[in-house]
Structure 1
């Protein structure tokens, strides 16, 4: 996969700097696997060496596609398999937009979304613990980093149901749980 060619294809695929390539519409032939791993920590590694260029990571993150349980980097002309240890994105920051009441989350790769029905949060198991994940785009999810989760725990409202208490947050009219505990 030639990086210069990829940049050109991506820049012409959208109508502006904020446009995401329409990878869900691309169905190129499979060209094999690449020794690229997105670690649990959100770090990108190629052939045992971590990527250090944030712009390159953001560029590659924009062409990640998930089919079934497998992840790929895709262009209109090729599809290359990659390894993702958990999910491709990690949420490293969150803030409340006072005007809209929506919580905006930012990923390590530069994606920003506002939590809503279109970008829901769900609880999943990660390394033996239940943690929140947020839908970022298409069928790609991001795990909420523990630093963001700790802030959310401080902000959450307790909702009691039977012998369980759930910690809830609201983003606009969308309410979501970030965890539960038994009393």
Structure 2
């Protein structure tokens, strides 16, 4: 017969240990970023050592899971997303001294808002991610289509080789901001203008 009280205590202790572990990581990252005024630290200047892999996974639907538990604290998600690094096709959390590999199903960032903004009298497309990143669409931060799990999905390049998935509602708004035209092959193309940057997307 299983002792239910002991079983419950073991489960509670495991949950507490998991929570303590991820909070320790968060505290370490906060300490590593102290003194940086920008939300995204100068990671390209760091030379950390590789410290293996941790059980942290970003699903294609935007959920972050750590040791089998869904991370719900937005402050933690914002913190982790600010130190994302991509190298040779792999994703990491990067600090000045450590680089820890994590698993990402598709892309770790997600656009949930699209707006237009005026800079120096020119109108630009501006994206906002679920972690409050602001992305101005230009030649270096272009929109593109890519297939994932048999579905053609829209993305925008953000930083360090990392892209953000443009979520469905934001993409519908983006379509409204552009112009749907037909090319010579009879395919429907979405034509967009952001500042002096012009692009066309197959839809």
TM-score by length of 2: 0.80
Alignment equivalent of 2:108, drawn from 88, 96, 118: 88
Bigger shift: residues 35-44 or 122-131: 122-131
Residue 113 of structure 1 aligns with which residue?
A: 135
- 1:146 corresponds to which residue? 168
Deviations 1:40-85 (A, max 9, x none): 1112111111111111111111111100111011111111110000
Contact 1:132 / 1:179 at 8 angstroms: preserved in 2? no
Is 2:199 aligned against 1:179? no
Which string of whole-angstrom CA distances, capped at 9 and with x for unpartnered residues, describes residues 105-141 of structure 1? 0111221111111211111112322222101112110
The residue aligned with 1:165 is 188
Q: Secondary structure at the match of 2:106?
A: coil
Measured in 1, the distance between the counterparts of 2:94 and 2:116 equals 33
Name the residue aligned to 2:85.
65
CA contact (8 A) 2:178 2:191 kept: yes
Aligned length: 177
Gaps of 5+ in 1: none
Structure with the higher fraction of residues in strand conformation: 1
Partner secondary structure for residue 35 of structure 1: strand
SS at match of 1:41: coil
CA contact (8 A) 1:131 1:178 kept: no
Bigger drift between 147-156 and 43-52 goes to 147-156
Rg larger for: 2
Structure 1: distance between partners of 2:130 and 2:61: 10
Secondary structure of the 1:101 match is strand
With 92-101 and 103-112 compared, the bigger mean Cα shift is at 92-101
Pick the structure with more helix per residue.
Answer: 2
RMSD in angstroms over aligned alpha carbons? Answer: 1.7
Distance 1:107 1:19 in 2: 14
Deviant stretches of 4+, over 3 Å: none
Q: Secondary structure at the match of 1:33?
A: strand
Q: TM-score, normalised by structure 1?
A: 0.89
